Structure 1
Amino acid sequence: MTTLHAADLLITGDGRPPVPQGAVLVDGRTVAAVGPYGELAAAHPTARVRRWPGLLTPGLLHPYGPELLEHAYHPDPREADELGTDPLVGEALAALPMTDARWGASARRGVQRMLAHGTVAVGGEPRRPAVADAVRRAGLRVEPRPTGVPAGAAGEGGVSWDGVPCLDPLGGRSPAEALVTLFPNRGSVATFAVFDVPDEAALGERGAVTCVATVLAGRLVYRRR
């Protein structure tokens, strides 16, 4: 079955002009077409339609994704009373008895939180096997760390801004810097994200917390309820 993902504005990220009322036609794992919704809907009348508010983009690259998963613990919701809900770093992390199994569970929860921020790729290869497995199983792309992004940012483990672990790949960066540069074209893997903002400028102002949907290889892996 083909699915037509339609949004108020489509940003390709490769220099092409934004497409008002744009859409991506997905066939299984791959992109079948990209363009104005009206044209694609007319050409593919049997496609299932998913309508999203706001901005459809290629998705975001988190430059410190591996550090965020390997140097921070993402508590289980059942641990909230004891540990809270924010990622733990530094002394709080050092106080925890971390095993490979616990790192793997933490990484899986961290990946889900990253998907909820429109992250579709991480900058750099994870070194811890349990973390690398969580990234691979989720379907996140592994890209080189962007040029000009230092190996360690301000804060614990190179994963934070102002001392707070930051799940937002836009933390300290503009959307143009964070967008995965190659938008899915026909025949490529269907990976993208949707944000409930009117345009790229608003995405930069409000951040990736506005994500409403993330698609990896044609799978809807996150949808805001």
Structure 2
Amino acid sequence: MPTIHAADLLVTGDRRLSVPGGAVLVDGRELAALGSYEELVAAHPTARVRRWPGLLTPGLVNRYGPELLAQAYHPDPREADELGTEPITGEGLAALAMTEARWGASARRGVQRMFAHGTVAVAGALWRPAVVDAVRRAGLTETERSADPVGPPALDPLAGRGLAAAIPRPLPSVGGDATFAVFDVPDEAALAERGAAACVATVLGGRLVYRGR
């Protein structure tokens, strides 16, 4: 069933003007239309409606794909008492018995944490087979990076940069993949202040892969 995703403000990620009270129409994998909520509801009265608070934007790219997925271990919640909940790197990682199966499970958990930050793509070469398989099964796009990013690896793709720099591609007007994120903030300035942890929904190829509320 076609679904209208509506938010307080729609940001396309290019030179098109933002749309207050904007919405997108998702039909299968495809973003079939975008515009004001009133226009889309009038044109598609039988579509299901999902209303989100805040800002609807294109999905984001995380620059630290290898560092967060192939060089860090994301503990299973059942390991929290022993290992904590934050990614383990360096000497802590060296002390773990990492098999390909364990790398794959870690990457799947890492991908879910990325979805919770509006991430739909990762930059950098992923060389571990289990990690590559986890990323591709999840549907994340893999991109090259022109230079190594500056600063410590962060799950927040907005850490140290603005929204425009974190958008790999703008929302299509019609016909492209329905891939976007929604953040519970009123505008881009508030998003820069709060970061991508304000994400309340991530849609990847028409699938709702993360819902925070």
Alignment TM class, shorter chain as reference = over 0.9
Give the distance between the partners of 1:152 and 1:91, measured in 2 at CA: 22
Deviation, 1:119, is 0.2
Aligned counterparts, 1:140-179, within 5 A: 140-145=140-145, 147=146, 150-151=147-148, 153-155=150-152, 160=153, 166-179=154-167
Give the distance between the partners of 1:221 and 1:175, measured in 2 at CA: 21
Of 187, 209, 212, which residue of structure 2 is paired with 1:221?
209
The equivalent residue for 2:178 is 190
Deviation, 1:74, is 0.2
> Is this contact kept in 2: 1:100–1:130, CA < 8 A?
yes
**Structure 1 runs not aligned, ≥5 long:** 161-165
- Secondary structure at the aligned position of 1:39 is classed as helix
Deviating beyond 6 angstroms after TM superposition, the runs of 4 or more aligned structure 1 residues are none
Deviation, 1:59, is 1.2
Deviation, 1:110, is 0.2
Aligned residue pairs, count? 213
> Is this contact kept in 2: 1:3–1:47, CA < 8 A?
yes
Matched to 2:189, the amino acid is A
The equivalent residue for 1:131 is 131
Give the distance between the partners of 1:128 and 1:83, measured in 2 at CA: 22
**Structure 2 runs not aligned, ≥5 long:** none
Deviation, 1:172, is 1.1
Determine if the alignment matches structure 1 residue 37 to structure 2 residue 32: no
The equivalent residue for 1:163 is none
Give the distance between the partners of 2:183 and 2:199, measured in 1 at CA: 4
The equivalent residue for 1:93 is 93
Matched to 2:144, the amino acid is P
- Secondary structure at the aligned position of 1:212 is classed as strand
The equivalent residue for 1:180 is 168
Q: TM-score, normalised by structure 2?
A: 0.97
Deviation, 1:197, is 0.4
The equivalent residue for 2:46 is 46
The equivalent residue for 2:68 is 68
CA RMSD of aligned residues (A): 1.1
Give the distance between the partners of 2:172 and 2:73, measured in 1 at CA: 33
Deviation, 1:85, is 0.1
Q: TM-score, normalised by structure 1?
A: 0.92
Give the distance between the partners of 2:68 and 2:42, measured in 1 at CA: 44
> Is this contact kept in 1: 2:63–2:149, CA < 8 A?
no
Matched to 1:112, the amino acid is Q
Give the distance between the partners of 1:125 and 1:33, measured in 2 at CA: 34
Matched to 2:91, the amino acid is E
The equivalent residue for 1:27 is 27
The CA deviation string for residues 157-183 of structure 1, in whole angstroms up to 9 with x for no partner, is: xxx2xxxxx211111111111122321
Deviation, 1:14, is 1.0
Aligned counterparts, 1:2-17, within 5 A: 2-17=2-17
**Percent of matched pairs sharing the same residue:** 71
Give the distance between the partners of 2:81 and 2:201, measured in 1 at CA: 29
